[in-house]
Amino acid sequence: MISIVITNQKGGVSKTTTTAELGWILAKQGSNVLMVDLDSQSSLTQLFGVSAENNSIADVFGGSIEGNLDLSDVIQPINGGLSIAPSNVLLYTTEMGLAGRAGREYILKQAFGKLSGYDVAIIDCPPGMGLLTINALVASQGVIIPSLPSVMDLRGVDLTLETIGGIDAAGLNSSLDIIGILLVQFISHTLEHNRILEAVITSGKRILGVIPRSVKVQEAVSKNKTISEYDPKGKPSEAYYYLAKIVTTWLKDNKSRR
């Protein structure tokens, strides 16, 4: 299984939306996809209408002591090749409990090691660079950083990149590839957004496309659907299909390098 993290220190930058779209499209195209919800706010879990009152990813992590369930015990099928390891609010205390535990950065990686039957995992991170995000970065081969098109947000991307660099420097994961930056909630007739796009391109950072802002994305959420399912011909879906294409190529390259 190859794992991809969707992360950014900031909230509200389409991390959850991007996880859901990518998961949904890759599964529709024939992969066995596991989405992992690492946010105690459980937006991803709720988007797919999954209930995690009993077993959740928090039971896999445990806290100050080891978790009492395997990842395979908490995974719930959604449809076709799409499944989710759901989260609930207990994950918040989990993260605090992890601080003093030996091997705290490797819990998700070990849980992945015991799992079989999935082609790809996509991990939705909470905002911030706490131990849950570190676990995701340690357990993965690729990172996608969604960002709003603003100067402040691009500074946030640089900070996120620094943290990711620190993972390698600390010897936690030397085979983590930055797949690229995704500009989200983009308004194409806004001069500032276009200036930001130019700036990202000239900075040499790999850009994975631009997801347009659309009220349909929120509409889809209220119907418990991804935008790719709710409005497959719309501009946001088109942009997410383009992202999925890049990711599929990256997955193939990654596999052949192993």
Coil, strand or helix at 5: strand
Letters for 176-215 (x = contact with ligand ADP by CB under 6 A, - = none) are --------xx-------------------------x-xx-
User: Are the C-beta atoms of residues 139 and 109 closer than 8 Å to each other?
Assistant: yes
SS3 content of the chain, % helix, strand, coil (to 5): 45, 15, 35
* Binding to ligand ADP, residues 212-231 (CB under 6 A): 213-214, 217-218, 221
Cβ–Cβ < 8 Å for 82, 34: no
Q: Which of 3, 7, 16, 87 binds ligand ADP (CB under 6 A)?
A: 16
Nearest to 198 by CA among 237, 151, 164: 151
CB of 94 vs Mg ion, minimal distance in Å: 17
Compute the least distance from the CB of residue 180 to Mg ion, in Å: 19
As a whole number of angstroms, the distance between CA 116 and CA 114 comes to 7
Residue 232 and residue 220 in contact, taking contact as beta carbons nearer than 8 Å: no
Q: Evaluate whether 85 touches 33 at the Cβ level (below 8 Å).
A: no
Cβ–Cβ under 8 Å, residues 184 and 18 = yes
What's the closest the beta carbon of residue 146 comes to ligand ADP, in angstroms? Answer: 7
230: helix, strand or coil: helix
For 89-196, where are the E strands, in sequence order? 120-124, 142-147, 177-186
CB nearer ligand ADP, residue 38 or residue 63: 38
Contacts with 87 (C-beta within 8 Å, 6 or more apart), sequence order: 37, 38, 39, 40, 42, 44, 45, 52, 56, 57, 58
Binding segment (CB under 6 A) for ligand ADP, from list 10-18, 74-82, 99-107, 172-180: 10-18
Q: For ligand ADP, which stretch binds (CB under 6 A), given 13-21, 26-34, 149-157, 165-173?
A: 13-21
Q: CB nearer to ligand ADP: give 67 or 185.
A: 185
Binding residues for Mg ion, rule: CB under 5 A, are 15-16, 43
Mark residues 40-79: x for contact with ligand ADP by CB under 6 A, - for none. Answer: ---x------------------------------------
Q: Whole-number minimum distance, CB 7 to Mg ion, in Å?
A: 10
Q: Determine, following the binding rule CB under 6 A, whether residue 149 of this chain makes contact with ligand ADP.
A: no
Pick one of Mg ion, ligand ADP, none as the site partner of residue 13 (Cβ within 5 to 8 A by kind).
Answer: ligand ADP
236 binds, among ligand ADP, Mg ion, none (CB under 5 to 8 A by kind): ligand ADP
Residues that bind ligand ADP (CB under 6 A): 11-17, 43, 184-185, 211, 213-214, 217-218, 221, 236
